[in-house]
Amino acid sequence: MQPKYKRILLKLSGESLMGNNSFGLDPEVLSRYANEIKKITDLGVEVALVIGGGNIYRGMNEAETGIERAHGDYMGMLATVINGMALQSGLEKVGLFTRLLTAIKMEQIAEPYIRRRAIRHLEKRRVVIFGAGTGNPYFTTDTAGSLRAIEIGADVILKGTRVDGIYTADPEKDPNATRYEKISFADCIKQQLNIMDMTAFTLCQENNLPIIVFDMNKPDNLLKLLMGEKVGTLVSNG
C-alpha cells in the first residue's frame, strides 16, 4: 500500500521538544520524534520540517522586557536553528540523511535557504529542516511553515500538537468539546478556531494546501496518517 502523501511539511512547536521539562530540550522526545519520522521516510515519503523556538525563547511584551519586537523576533529565529540542529542530530542517529537550511546565513552550521536546493535535497530522500523562520521579523514559524510548504510543492502540512485534532472548544477546559474529523478553512475562520496565525492560515487557503492537525506524541500516529487512516482533523477548501 502506497503512502497517501508523497511530500509533506511537518510543523512542530518548540514547546513539544521540552517533554516534561519547563525549558530546553528533552533527549527522549528528540529520539522518539526521529524514530517516528524514520518510519515514514522508509516508505519513500519526502519530509521537510519547521520547528518553533518557544522552548528556548518566546517573544515577550516589549514593555516588560525592554526588547523591541523586531529584535526579539530575531532572537526567536535563532532559537529555531538550535532546535533544528538538535533534531538534525537525532535524525542522523537513526540513520537518516539531513540538511538544515536557514533563512539567515550561518554557513558554519547550515546551508542558506535556496528553494531549488531544498527541493533537490527532498528528491534525494534527505530530510530537510527549515530554520530561522522566514528570516523576517513579525512573522511566526506557522507562517514560515506555510510559506516553505507552498514553495517546495508539499502535498499537505502536518501540524503536530499535543491534542488529537481540532475541537469545538478547548478539550482541556471543556469536557463537552467534540472533535472535527474535517472542517473547511472558511468554517475555521467563521468559528474563530485558532489553528495557526491568520497569515499562515490564509496562505494555505489561497494556495489550496490542506492542513492536518494531529497528536504527534501518540506512537505511530504519523505513520497511520500517512497510510490513510483517519487521524486528527483535516482542514481544506473541499
pTM, rounded to two decimals = 0.95
Contact 127, 97 (CB under 8 A): yes
Domains in the chain: ranges and CATH = 7-236 (3.40.1160.10)
Give me the pLDDT at residue 209, please.
Answer: 98
* Residue 182 scores a pLDDT above 90: yes
Give the pLDDT score at 61. 64
Is the model more confident about 163 or about 59? 163
User: CB within 8 A of 98, min separation 6: which ones?
Assistant: 88, 91, 92, 126, 127, 128, 129
Average pLDDT over residues 3-25: 95
pLDDT at 63: 67
Is the CB of residue 56 less than 8 Å from the CB of residue 84?
no
pLDDT in tens, 121-130: 999 999 999 9
- Dump pLDDT digits (tens) for 42-88: 999 999 999 999 999 876 666 677 889 899 999 999 999 999 999 99
